[in-house]
């Protein structure tokens, strides 16, 4: 009996000792993992690129392979299908997946504003959202956040998603080219694509969520954008790995607080500049307000995101969503405490 009690006490002591070791000093359960993203060159996902290029993942002992898909909906499909481990994508996917019975949880906010902009070609008779009826509208990918953004704006004007024709155009030079060739009437996209079209005088802006004022006008306040999300069972089975991912991305948010557009341009791959460094610097300047200051999604932000989706998604109107299950702030709080 004494031996049993001693063994039990020893096991309990070891468990406490392991729990007391900071995550940074612990071995990740899954040091090699695959991360999905939909349109990595877009400034929407800049925190991911910074973490990768500055070696923040490697500093955490992680070997992260990044799979870049054509849009956020495709990276979500890959996560559900099991071909990737985690996703840097739009927060609203966690809400929509809960309605479908999939327990997907976000663990750090990267963007506090969507940064999505809806533009129309100047040579089209489109001066307002209502004028989009019958138009061909480019989005990064059908079912992605750029698609949801247009759906919401249409619903506010009494229109339905099928009142327009959506076309997946990606988020790079091909999107710019299709707009310039006149293959699209309008486009919902992000920087640097939008700034390129603006600077070249090709488009007029119909709705802009890159600024606080723009978000107040469109959503009535902040609306969380890019997050790191994953299946809850992955998070629970790999808490140290999850913490290390959050540590790297939180470190990026801290870096971005004081970074200049020139600092950013010096880190990203050359091809992200779209052959025009001055344009890219301007795009970064436009987008810097988008990034999260704390990594934590405010409760009102979650409510705004749900209100946006309910506006045009009948399935969500009939489903009770538990917003508390869409975001776990414990990992960000630990990351923040470790950097003080």
- pLDDT per residue as tens digits for the range 79-89: 999 999 999 99
Helix axes 72-81, 92-99, angle to 10 degrees: 50
From 219, 239, 273, the end of a domain falls on: 219
- Structure pTM? 0.86
Residues 137 and 175 in one domain: yes
Look at residue 24 in the predicted model and tell me its pLDDT. Answer: 54
Residues 70 and 155 in one domain: no
In this prediction, residues 105-129 reach a mean pLDDT of: 96
| CATH code of 278's domain | 3.40.190.10
Is 144 within a domain?
A: yes
Residues 329 and 248 in one domain: yes
* Domain housing 200: 117-219
Look at residue 70 in the predicted model and tell me its pLDDT. Answer: 75
Residues 245 and 230 in one domain: yes
Q: Into how many domains does the chain fold? A: 2
Residues 324 and 289 in one domain: yes
Residues 212 and 195 in one domain: yes
**In the predicted model, is pLDDT for residue 33 greater than 70?**
yes
- The mean of the pLDDT values for the chain is 91
- The closest of 59, 55, 63, 98 to 80, measured between CA atoms, is 98
DSSP helix, strand, coil percent of the chain (3-state; round to 5): 55, 15, 30
Cβ-count burial 231-241 (b if 16+ within 10 Å, e if not): beebbeebbbb
Residues 109 and 121 in one domain: no
140, two tokens: 């990064």
Residues 231 and 108 in one domain: yes
Look at residue 172 in the predicted model and tell me its pLDDT. Answer: 82
Residues 234 and 328 in one domain: yes
Is 4 within a domain?
A: no
Residues 242 and 181 in one domain: no
From 188, 219, 250, the end of a domain falls on: 219
Is 7 within a domain?
A: no
From 187, 219, 251, the end of a domain falls on: 219
Residues 97 and 231 in one domain: yes
Distance of CA 2 to the CA centre of its chain: 55
CB of 139 closer than 8 Å to CB of 188: yes
């Amino acid at each position: 009996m004494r031996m049993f009690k001693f063994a039990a006490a020893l096991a309990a002591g070891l468990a406490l000792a392991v729990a007391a070791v900071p995550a940074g000093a612990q071995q990740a359960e899954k040091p090699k993992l695959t991360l999905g993203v939909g349109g990595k060159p877009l400034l929407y996902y800049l925190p991911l690129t910074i973490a990768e290029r500055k070696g923040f993942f490697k500093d955490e002992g992680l070997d992260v392979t990044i799979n870049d898909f054509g849009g956020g909906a495709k990276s979500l499909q890959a996560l559900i299908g099991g071909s990737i481990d985690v996703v840097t994508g739009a927060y609203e996917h966690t809400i929509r997946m809960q309605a479908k019975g999939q327990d997907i949880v976000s663990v750090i906010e990267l963007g506090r504003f969507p940064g999505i902009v809806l533009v129309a070609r100047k040579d089209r008779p489109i001066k307002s959202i209502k004028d989009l009826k019958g138009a061909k509208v480019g989005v990064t990918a059908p079912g992605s956040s750029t698609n949801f953004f247009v759906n919401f704006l249409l619903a506010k004007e009494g229109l339905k998603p099928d009142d327009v024709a959506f076309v997946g155009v990606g988020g790079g030079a091909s999107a710019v080219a299709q707009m310039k060739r006149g293959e699209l009437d309008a486009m919902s996209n992000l920087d640097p694509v939008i700034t390129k079209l603006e600077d070249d005088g090709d488009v007029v802006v119909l709705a802009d969520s890159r600024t606080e004022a723009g978000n107040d006008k469109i959503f009535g306040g902040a609306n969380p954008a890019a997050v790191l999300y994953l299946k809850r069972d992955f998070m629970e089975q790999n808490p140290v790995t999850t913490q290390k991912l959050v540590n790297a991305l939180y470190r990026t948010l801290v870096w971005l607080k004081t970074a200049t557009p020139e600092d950013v341009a010096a880190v990203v791959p050359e091809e992200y500049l779209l052959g025009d460094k001055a344009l890219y610097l301007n795009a970064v300047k436009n987008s810097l307000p988008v990034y999260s200051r704390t990594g934590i999604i405010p409760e009102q932000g979650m409510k705004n995101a749900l209100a946006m989706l309910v506006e045009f998604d009948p399935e969500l109107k009939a489903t009770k969503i538990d917003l508390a299950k869409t975001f776990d702030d414990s990992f960000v709080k630990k990351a923040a405490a470790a950097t003080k």
